[in-house]
Amino acid sequence: MTNNLISMNFQTVGASAYIKSGTSIISGGRLWGLYEGYKLTGYADKVKYATDAKAFTACTSSSTCKGVTKEGSANYRINTGNTPSVKKSMECYIMGSSVTTSNGYYWASKSS
């Protein structure tokens, strides 16, 4: 699922805040920021994953993973770096906050 606008409701003040981000994906209970034409550095393991879903799952299970890079067709790698660098033929996803669904909304947690 792709989202361009994230809604967060704060119960203490009864207001809504909207944080504009680029394109994002929700997978495995996490928000992933998508950067087309970029890659991440450092491999968290030696595996090449066939799907983004498998790579996202592996990344969330890793203590060192901070994102996923799509290096080619059916070739996803999990990365230790979280600063995108330009690579036109690739795209990367930076792991964001956890997300839950309730009452038909996606809720992203924010830690202070």
CA nearest neighbour of 95 among 106, 75, 112, 109: 109
- Structure tokens belonging to residue 10: 């704060």
User: How does pLDDT run across 88-107, given as a tens digit for each residue?
Assistant: 999 999 998 888 777 887 77
* Contact (Cβ atoms closer than 8 angstroms) between residue 79 and residue 67: yes
Domain residue limits at 14: 2-108
Distance of CA 87 to the CA centre of its chain: 18
Q: How many domains does the chain have?
A: 1
For residue range 48-66, what is the model confidence (pLDDT) as tens digits? Answer: 999 999 999 999 999 999 9
3-class SS shares of the chain: helix, strand, coil, % to 5: 10, 60, 30
pTM of the model: 0.75
